[in-house]
């Protein structure tokens, strides 16, 4: 078992809002393009990997 070090810059939990499956599926079934959301998700993923 490997101990995971504490994260220096944790992402504030108030910035997350988990949705239920119905809300996510209704968004996925639209023709809207949401590039700003994808950019934010990529930024979060990059930040987490860098830590």
Q: What's the farthest any 2 CA atoms get from each other in the chain?
A: 45
Per-residue pLDDT for 44 more than 60?
no
* pTM of the predicted protein model: 0.28
C-alpha 31/C-alpha 37 separation (Å) is: 15
8: CB partners within 8 A, 6+ apart? 51
The confidence band for 4, taking pLDDT boundaries of 50, 70 and 90, is confident
Q: Over the chain, what is the mean pLDDT?
A: 65
- Show Cβ contacts of residue 7 under 8 Å, excluding neighbours closer than 6 positions: 51
Tell me the domain boundaries of the chain. 13-50
Query: Is pLDDT of 31 > 70?
Result: no
Average the pLDDT over 16-25 and give the result.
74
Distance CA 44, CA 42 (A): 5
């Amino acid at each position: 078992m490997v101990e995971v070090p504490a994260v220096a810059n944790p992402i504030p939990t108030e910035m997350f809002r988990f949705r239920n499956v119905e809300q996510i599926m209704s968004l996925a079934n639209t023709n809207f393009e949401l590039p700003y959301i994808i950019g934010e998700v990529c930024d979060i993923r990059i930040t987490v990997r860098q830590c």
